[in-house]
């Protein structure tokens, strides 16, 4: 069988793998060994994204040619020669920037993570193609305006075409990775839950390896496959492609290091959760001192220049968003008014930077008599809320996440607004006023603020003081890492990771991934 034929075959089960005929070398290479399956995974990612890149480049050249003709930027030959030269130049720069290799290595890598890299690789490719075109191509050479349009339009179009291409890749049978986690402790089970929750990662979690006798022999769920000594056998028998190693007190570092090295030699993708993972935010950087690897933690809080740039970004995008989305805002307001009697907007008192209170704006999603607050449902709303909490299942859910997945107080149009997050669009006005930021920690209510603590497993409960320094956000780091499926403690931890790693680049990444989450509508209620 050819490589293409094998790649498009359904992924065989572990029992089918053991029954593969010895003469079927192509299937044995691709499915019988982790290294072969990793090669197949990289191939399908590279080929699919490369095709998407070609489409994006050709569309960018076409748009640039039309813009050049409409604005009379040049006379004479079109940009066909530049477009032809740009394709091989892109192939070179995309390899240098490793644009098509990270999907197979990083579980949650997405288009939003690589927008800056795509723009940089395209800029280098356009520069290289323009130099060659200027030296050997026909006159006139591309103008600076045309090259600028090509880079800007091309980066946007390539990001757009890469999103559906990446979604297609992650559904391909060759991309899916059977995965085990070393360590069935709290960290390991938290990781496993996140893997189960995100099927779009292409990771199929099959179980744990753990040396604890109680877990190995007494478990009834069947998710502990055995002790660490059976690692290699489990990898082979279960056709494992990826192994996550969590901090495992029952085993020494030497044993875990040896296991990781053996897995690497087998071609298995290895991911290691650091022991102090609570401190390692998205801006933590790896460096070395004479070969000894270090994780550098950035200073807490933004610099003055970052704070100024962040505020400028907030005002520009929020004001522009209010103008562009004004027709949608009017339609939503009309739907809210027709769906149930009462005001269109709901105001709730929250705590912002410097412990200042402000009224956050949202489209009303509940019946008026169920909206908490003296200006809305008043005492009847509080009674309805206490009745919900008195139900054991609802009470446990609210204690875990401060939300109800099935809330009988929500109207029909309100449920739709919550699933699509359209109810939060009026908060753009709070951003313009300086009460919110586009990206920041989760805003909290007045009654919640006094009891707000961060549960640190090393230092115990401590005040979550960052709210005194950073504006709360319309979206944030926790919204792109689980949304409503995260526990209350996880949200606080993810918010602290954002505060300690704040940067404009991280804000842009969160905004990009927020758009993806809104379209996916996962865990939104």
Average pLDDT of adjacent 10-residue blocks, the chain of 525 residues: 46 50 41 71 87 92 86 64 88 88 80 85 90 72 84 91 88 86 87 84 88 56 78 87 83 78 86 82 79 80 83 94 94 93 91 86 92 86 84 73 76 90 93 94 76 53 58 87 70 81 86 78 55
- ∠ Cα 345 346 348 (to 5°): 145
Write down the pLDDT at residue 359: 92
Write down the pLDDT at residue 121: 92
CA-based nearest residue to 127, from 144, 106, 103: 144
**Interatomic CA distance for residues 441 and 302, integer angstroms:** 13
**Interatomic CA distance for residues 326 and 108, integer angstroms:** 34
Write down the pLDDT at residue 197: 82
**Within 10 Å of residue 19's Cβ, how many Cβ atoms?**
8
- ∠ Cα 368 370 371 (to 5°): 70
Write down the pLDDT at residue 205: 92
As given in the structure block, the two tokens for residue 233 are: 């056998």
**Interatomic CA distance for residues 517 and 477, integer angstroms:** 12
Contact criterion met (CB below 8 Å) for 111 and 136: no
**Interatomic CA distance for residues 114 and 335, integer angstroms:** 38
Locus of tokens 């995974």: 41
**Within 10 Å of residue 491's Cβ, how many Cβ atoms?**
22
Kindly report the pTM of this predicted structure.
0.67
Contact criterion met (CB below 8 Å) for 504 and 313: yes
Contact criterion met (CB below 8 Å) for 123 and 30: no
Contact criterion met (CB below 8 Å) for 44 and 172: yes
| Consecutive H or E run containing 310 | helix 304-324
Instruction: List, in sequence order, every residue forming a beta bridge with 455; answer none if it has no partner.
Output: 461
CA-based nearest residue to 361, from 423, 427, 314, 291: 427
Does residue 180 have a cis peptide bond before it, meaning omega lies within 30 degrees of 0?
no
Which residues have C-beta within 8 Å of that of residue 282, sequence separation ≥ 6?
477, 497, 498, 501, 506, 509
């Amino acid at each position: 069988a050819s490589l293409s034929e094998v790649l498009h075959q359904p992924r065989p089960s572990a029992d089918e793998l053991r029954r593969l005929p010895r003469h079927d070398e192509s299937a044995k290479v691709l499915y019988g060994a982790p290294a072969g399956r990793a090669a197949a995974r990289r191939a399908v990612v590279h080929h699919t994204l490369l095709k998407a890149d070609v489409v994006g480049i050709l569309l960018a050249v076409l748009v640039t040619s039309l813009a050049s003709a409409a604005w009379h930027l040049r006379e004479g030959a079109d940009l066909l020669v530049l477009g032809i030269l740009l394709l091989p130049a892109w192939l070179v720069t995309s390899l240098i920037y490793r644009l098509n290799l990270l999907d197979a290595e990083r579980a949650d890598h997405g288009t939003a993570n690589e927008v800056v890299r795509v723009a940089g690789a395209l800029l280098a490719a356009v520069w290289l193609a323009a130099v060659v075109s200027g030296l050997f191509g026909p006159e006139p050479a591309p103008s600076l305006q045309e090259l600028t349009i090509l880079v800007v339009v091309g980066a946007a179009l390539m990001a757009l075409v890469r999103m559906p291409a990446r979604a297609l890749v992650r559904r391909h049978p060759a991309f899916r990775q059977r995965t085990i986690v070393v360590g069935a402790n709290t960290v390991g089970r938290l990781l496993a839950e996140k893997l189960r929750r995100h099927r779009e990662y292409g990771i199929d979690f099959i179980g744990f390896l753990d040396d604890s006798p109680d877990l190995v022999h007494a478990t009834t769920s069947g998710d502990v496959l055995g002790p660490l000594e059976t690692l290699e056998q489990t990898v082979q028998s279960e056709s494992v492609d990826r192994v996550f190693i969590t901090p495992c007190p029952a085993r020494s570092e030497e044993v875990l290091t040896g296991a990781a090295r053996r897995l690497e030699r087998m071609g298995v993708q290895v991911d290691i959760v650091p022991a102090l993972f609570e401190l390692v935010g998205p801006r933590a950087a790896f460096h070395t001192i004479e070969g000894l690897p270090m994780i550098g933690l950035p200073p807490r809080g933004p610099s003055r220049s970052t704070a100024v740039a962040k505020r400028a970004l907030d005002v520009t995008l929020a004001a522009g968003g209010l103008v562009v989305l004004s027709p949608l805002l009017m339609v939503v307001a009309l739907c809210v008014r027709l769906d149930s009697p009462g005001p269109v907007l709901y105001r709730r008192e929250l705590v912002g930077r410097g412990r200042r209170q402000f009224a956050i704006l949202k489209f009303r999603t509940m019946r008026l008599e169920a909206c908490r607050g003296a200006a809305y449902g008043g005492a009847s709303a509080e009674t309805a809320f206490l009745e919900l909490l008195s139900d054991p299942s609802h009470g446990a859910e609210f204690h875990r996440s401060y939300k109800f997945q099935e809330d009988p107080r929500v109207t029909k149009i309100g449920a739709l607004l919550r699933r699509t997050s359209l109810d939060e669009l009026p908060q753009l006005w709070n951003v313009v006023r300086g009460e919110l930021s586009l990206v920041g920690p989760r805003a909290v209510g007045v009654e919640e603020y006094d009891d707000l603590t961060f549960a640190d497993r090393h230092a115990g409960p401590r005040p979550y003081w960052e709210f005194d320094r950073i504006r709360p956000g319309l979206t944030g780091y926790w919204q792109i890492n689980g949304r409503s499926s995260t526990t209350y403690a996880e949200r606080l931890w993810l918010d602290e990771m954002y505060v300690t790693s704040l940067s404009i680049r991280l804000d842009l990444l969160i905004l990009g991934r927020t758009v993806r989450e809104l379209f996916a509508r996962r865990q939104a209620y």
